[in-house]
Chains A and B, each alone.
Chain A
Amino acid sequence: MGGFVSIISRGFHGRRRDEGDRLPPGQYLVEDFPVLSAGPTPRVPPERWEFAIDTEAGVTHRWTWPEFLALPQETPTVDIHCVTEWSKLDTSWEGVSLDTLLENVDTAADYALVHSYGGYTTNLPLEDLLDGKAWIVHRFGGEELQPQHGGPARLLVPHLYFWKSAKWVRGIRLLDDDRPGFWETAGYHNYGDPWREQRYEGD
């Protein structure tokens, strides 16, 4: 998206908002919290919930809901950016850092394939989950995360477009090779950096 102006829409003035440098290109601000997903909302009761990390060597690490809640909790406040062009600033969450979940996981994998209750998948490089960049969150704005927003728990990777922050997360497979997920095989960008406006394949 170069800085050149090609086509002007006559009579369009737009509504500039003063959001400083926090809004990636092509995004606009919302106050409410839109929902985007490909199908119905799965309902997963916490007693049946489990989260698992599978390594490339076939080792599985599992957490039940009480075990997950007993891990050290963090409360990130972050800006989120959806590929459908809305951004929301200063959203507050509570959950467990992927650094904590991966602490005792022995892996040399380069990629992660995240999967969800309901069958959704999304892929990203493992390093994008590390160093304080990603969490499995279960509270939003001080309240339990609602099913339509991904509850009981979702991935939160705010530096990538929000479809990477898989709702209803169930587990992560660590892989030596990159395997595109649901939207990534449907024409969306494989990595999805909002600051480079990587919306679609080839952007």
Chain B
Amino acid sequence: MRRLVWRAAELVGSTPETATARTLRFRVPGWPGHLAGQHVDVRLTAEDGYSTQRSYSLAGPADGEYVELTVESVPDGEVSPYLTEIMEAGDQVEIRGPVGGWFVWRAENERPVLLVAGGSGIVPLMAMIRTRRQAGSRAPFRLVYSLRGPDWAYYADELRRPDPGLDVSFLYTRTVPEGASRPAGRIMLADLAEGGWPAGHGPDCFVCGPTGFVEAAADLLLALGHASERIRTERFGPTGG
């Protein structure tokens, strides 16, 4: 039987993605590797022994003993502001995983893929995009990324760089760049009809983000005729959506 153990993880570096999100790179000796889409549990322990844990998706493909997470600082949160604002290189947390064998994409899979991200839900989907690129996979990918406005994009440069076989469409819920044809607003049928695949192509759909977003996007995919067995969802915990 496999056992998930807590491993010491040292922060080796971090880069800001947006004004409120950071990508953190940890060295985790003994890390067993992982698949795109999986997540880890992170445990923090205070001086007096108090500890708490949260789940975070892995942002990149397996990379030896390194793992990368991208964390959005939730106002008034217990854990995410610590990870993004207080932690410095050399500080430690504990990490265990990888967790989740369902919301995963494997590079052997050549079916078309539709990724639908809401906000920080882009993180595990980015791991799939990066895994595809690293493996030289020819599976056709489309990403529909819903975010507040252009300044809120994680991995912005990387997603704008050409990556053959990957189409990206951004949709903005609050602020749109000047001259944009789509007004600001929540995800709609047309966004998925235009940015996705026709249901007849039978794509594997991965939907990730806050609960309300995932509910809405998964219902739209069903309305477009996608089979529910082909729609995999990951909801990012308590967002009240």
Please report A residues at the B interface, Cβ cutoff 8 Å.
5-16, 26, 28, 30, 32, 34-42, 84-86, 118-119, 148, 182-183, 186-187, 199-203
Contacts and interface: CB of A to CB of B under 8 A. Distances in A.
A40 B230 CA distance: 10
Interface stretch (B46-54, B158-166, B172-180, B184-192): B46-54
A201 B100 CA distance: 11
B237 interface: yes
A6 B46 contact: no
B231 A40 contact: yes
B3 A32 contact: no
Contacts of A84: 55, 237
Given A5-B49, A34-B211, A34-B235, 17 more contacts: A5-B45, A6-B45, A7-B94, A8-B46, A9-B91, A11-B86, A28-B52, A39-B228, A39-B229, A40-B221, A85-B237, A183-B102, A186-B100, A186-B101, A201-B1, A201-B2, A201-B3
A26 B53 contact: yes
A41 B218 contact: yes
B219 interface: yes
Contacts, number: 124
Interface residues of B, number: 49
**Which of A8, A118, A201 has the most C-beta atoms of chain B within 10 angstroms of its own C-beta?**
A8
Contact of B233 (A11, A40, A187, A203): A40
Nearest to B238: A34
Contacts of A186: 100-102
B92 A8 contact: yes
A40 B49 contact: no
A78 to B, nearest CB: 19
Contacts of A203: 3-4
B101 to A, nearest CB: 4
Contacts of A12: 44-46, 82, 86
Interface in B177-208: none
A35 B43 CA distance: 22
**Which of B3, B44, B218 has the most C-beta atoms of chain A within 10 angstroms of its own C-beta?**
B44
B45 A9 contact: yes
A1 to B, nearest CB: 9
Nearest to B49: A5
Nearest to B211: A35
Contacts of A182: 102
B93 A7 contact: yes
